Amino acid sequence: MQRIMLRGKLHQARVTHAELNYEGSCAIDQDLLDAVNIREYEQIDIYNIENGERFHTYAISGERGSKMISLNGAAARKAAVGDRIIICAYAPMSEQQIESYDPNLVYLDADNNIVRTSKNIPLQLA
């Protein structure tokens, strides 16, 4: 059996552009893609913290060092510039692979600078 597991996450990214008339995708600063190990054209899920929208698209490379998070095409209708979003990539894994895997978690500030990275999500307390 395989399970679909979180492979990488950009947490609290800020949308910098919303380009309705651009080919659909999400352009992400190549430095951020490298940090979270998301490849160009890889499927990603985006969760908008501000309005609850959740959708699929694919990543494309944005200018390195630009801090760009650009929602393009139909995705541009799902968030406004300045919205906080979470960008996730998932992968199928066997039970054996799960035993030794940790996701790449990258936490960003309001300017899309990396403030920390982690391999685990903190325990949620009641």
Annotated binding site for substrate: 57, 73-75
**Rounded to an integer, what distance in angstroms lies between the CA atom of residue 55 and that of residue 85?**
11
β-strand pairing of 2-14 with 104-108: parallel
25 flagged as catalytic: yes
Tell me the torsion sign for CA atoms 31, 117, 123, 15. Answer: negative
Hey, which residues does 8 pair with through a beta bridge? 89, 104
Q: Which residue in the list 22, 47, 58, 107 is annotated as catalytic?
A: 58
Q: Which residues, including other chains, have CB under 8 Å from residue 52's CB and lie 6 or more apart?
A: none
Q: How many CB atoms lie within 10 A of CB 25?
A: 20
- Residue 34's H or E segment, with its range, is helix 30-36
Q: Which residues pair with residue 90 across a beta bridge?
A: 6
Active site (catalytic) residues? 25, 58
